[in-house]
Structures are given as C-alpha cells and as structure tokens.
Amino acid sequence: MKVLVLNCGSSSVKYQLFDMTNESASAKGLVERIGIAGSRIRHNKVGDEPVVKNAEIPNHKVAIKLVLEALLDNEHGVLDSLDELTAVGHRVVHAGEKFACSVHINKEVIDALEECVPLAPLHNPANLAGIEAMMEVLPEIPQVGVFDTAFHQTMPDYAYIYGVPYHYYETYKVRRYGFHGTSHFYVSHRAAEILGKPVEDLRIVTCHMGNGSSIAAVKGGISIDTSMGFTPVPGVIMGTRAGDLDPQLITFLQEQDGMDPKAINHILNKESGILGISGVSSDLRDVEEAAESGNKRALLAENMLYYGVRKYIGAYAAAMGGIDAIVFTAGIGENSITARARICDGLAFLGAVIDPEKNNIRGKEAVISTDDSSVKILVVPTNEELVIARDTKGKMAELK
C-alpha cells in the first residue's frame, strides 16, 4: 500500500511517498516558488542524490503534476504506474473545532475547512489549493486530511478559553487551538514506546522547538494544554514570532506608531522573537555563535528562549500533577545540545537531571537523563509525515 503525503504551503509543496507495508519512505521532495520566478522541483529517491528541475510552476495543479511525474520518472522515480497509489494524506493546519481526528476528505470536509480560513488565513487556503489540485489531477484517489490542531482538541475548556467576554468565543470561535499537534502526538507516543511504558500512564511535556516552537502537556496520551493559542504567535519566543505578550502592548504600539493590523501582524510574526531580540538572525545556530563571541543581545535571546521553555515545563508539571518525561524535538530540540542543557539546568527540583554525555547527540532518538533521574529526558526526532501516512492508511481501512 503506497501513500503520498503532501504538505502544501502558499508557494511550496513538500511531499513524501510511503510504502505502508513496512512504513518506509521511498521518495521525497519539495516544489518551491510556486507562482514566483525561479520555480523548481527538488526530488529525492531515497538512497540517491537529489535531482533539481527548473520549470514554470504557476499554480498548485502544475506543482502536483510535476510531483507525480517525478514519482513516475524512469530514472529517479519509484512508481511504475499511478495505480500503485492507494491514497493521499494532506497536512492541514487548521480544523477549528470541527475535527478532533483525521478525516476522509469529501465536499463537506472541504466546506468545513473553508469555514476555517478566517482562523488560518495564510495556511488553510494553501492546504485547500493542494487538496483541490489533487482532486482535479487524480479524482479517483481518496484523500485524507490530518490537522495540526486536532490533537489539542482534548484540552479542557478552562485551558482553552481566553479571559475576554465569552460571547467572542461563541461568535468568532476565539479560543486557544494550539498547533504542531501531529508532532506532539508522535513524539509523546514514541517516547512512551522508547521508555517501554503505556502512554496512558505517563505525564509528558513535549518541547517542539524549531523555527516555530510550542510546548505541550500530554497526560495519558492526550493533550491537556499547549503554549500556542488562537494563532501560532504565543508561547515561547520563536525564530521570528513574538511568543507571549501583554496584549495591551498591541494597542500601545498602534497608538504610538499608528500601525494598522497588517503591520502589527507582520511585526509579531516576522520581525520578533529570536531575530527581533538578537538583531542577528532567526536561526538559533547563528545566535548561539554570536552569543559565544560576546554579542549581548544574542545571549539575551538565548536566555529568553531557555527561560521561557523552562517556565512552561514547570507550569505543565503543575497542570498534570507531576511529570514523568520531557521530550525535545524539531530543529532546535533535536540538534541543540546547548539549548537542551540550558533548559534543563535547574530542573533537578522536579527530578529531571540531564546527563551531559548522553546529551551530546544530534538528530537521533536517545534518553539523555541520568540513570537516577526520576523524570526521563528524551530526544525524539519528529516524524509528522509518518503520522499522516499512518492516519491515511487507517482511514482507508475504515472506508473498506
């Protein structure tokens, strides 16, 4: 059974083809700069060198045709015929309160996702463009939507309602949704497997730290709280997103600088966080380097990030009535030895003690706490594509 996983952005399509008989990926790639000059596809048959083809790619339909051509290519392809493809799984960012699990996509699902566009005006239209393009190109292939928000739908109301008048929730569905759900689900459940314990018995804080970062409290295998909110802006500082703020700061800045909502959104999403504080880069590697050579604002950005994550770990330990494991994932969580060490420094009072030698790894699964640390600390590389492929396979079985 072969499943194609698609992650469609406004100007890009990331793809991965899985053989679900053994859950192996046989090819992956990226279509970039859709609708912009210089568009191209980078295709990688697993085990081979990537190949790049420049082409005019005005829209998602052309992008998807190129993906299918690449998968069928005589030299670099992995399929003899599109008949081998059983289903397509899509990453979709926002399902609002409509879907708490993955769904087989039909007309009603598309309508529901369109209704969610005001909640994710940048992401959902791109995800829908990918779904609609796929439906046009391969109408007979079933498609499944896997949502970033779904895993967090188990949060209790007191964790997701904001302290503004309740009618804003009723009218505009203003509430905490949370994101990176597929990643928090994967790494928490994988951590339980690594520890050899049922996930139902564990209280885990998952730290997804990449260019976008979110922390989640996963109790008994379900999400009970997370640091992102109505949008992906809140929580810890990120590459270019601000993280938690006093909301009245926005109106203050509007009054001071006369900025409109678009300008404010740009600042909060693109000019803040690690980039905005350090003035160096949104990339933590550059900021770590600058801090080491004495740049004070780079050091401040690092300190803010590590302090912020540590505070969330403490808060979520309290929210879950204790903690059994801390899991690090995504670009920073998987690769930054310094970030993990600095975040966990001072968590011994919770029973979480990192082992510097075990922590000296990048990009692979490992338990990095000391043997006698009662809270286990793990690195688990995330694999959202595999979750999407598994869910797609699962939905196909239900359809039979």
Q: Interface residues with ligand AMP (CB under 6 A)?
A: 210-211, 239, 283-285, 288, 330-332, 335-336, 362
Residue 104 CB, nearest distance to ligand AMP (Å)?
A: 29
Half-sphere exposure of 273 (CA within 13 A, CB side): 26
Question: How far is 4 from 18, CA to CA, in rounded Å?
Answer: 6
Residue 326 near residue 340 (C-beta atoms within 8 A): no
Q: Name which of 150 and 284 has its Cβ closer to ligand AMP.
A: 284
By C-beta, is 95 or 301 nearer to ligand AMP?
301
Min CB(146)–ligand AMP separation in Å: 18
Phi-psi category of residue 294: left, alpha or beta, with phi > 0 → left and psi -120 to 50 → alpha: left
CA distance 235 to 242: 8
Shortest distance, position 345 Cβ to ligand AMP, whole Å: 17
Is the CB of 284 or the CB of 350 nearer to ligand AMP?
284
CA distance 357 to 370: 9
Residue 286 known to be catalytic:
no
The CB-of-26 to ligand AMP minimum distance in angstroms stands at 23
CB of 363 to ligand AMP, least distance (A): 8
Place of tokens 């048959």: 45
- 280: Cβ contacts below 8 Å, ≥ 6 apart: 286, 287, 290, 295, 297, 298, 301
Nearer to ligand AMP by Cβ, of 217 and 284: the residue is 284
Nearest to 190 by CA among 202, 177, 178: 202
**Residue 96 or 181: which CB sits closer to ligand AMP?**
181
E strands, the chain, where? 2-8, 13-19, 24-32, 40-45, 51-54, 85-92, 103-104, 143-147, 203-209, 213-219, 222-226, 325-329, 366-367, 376-379
> Diameter of the chain by CA atoms?
62
Catalytic residue, candidates 148, 225, 324, 391:
148
Closest CB to ligand AMP: residue number: 331
- Which residues are annotated as catalytic? 148
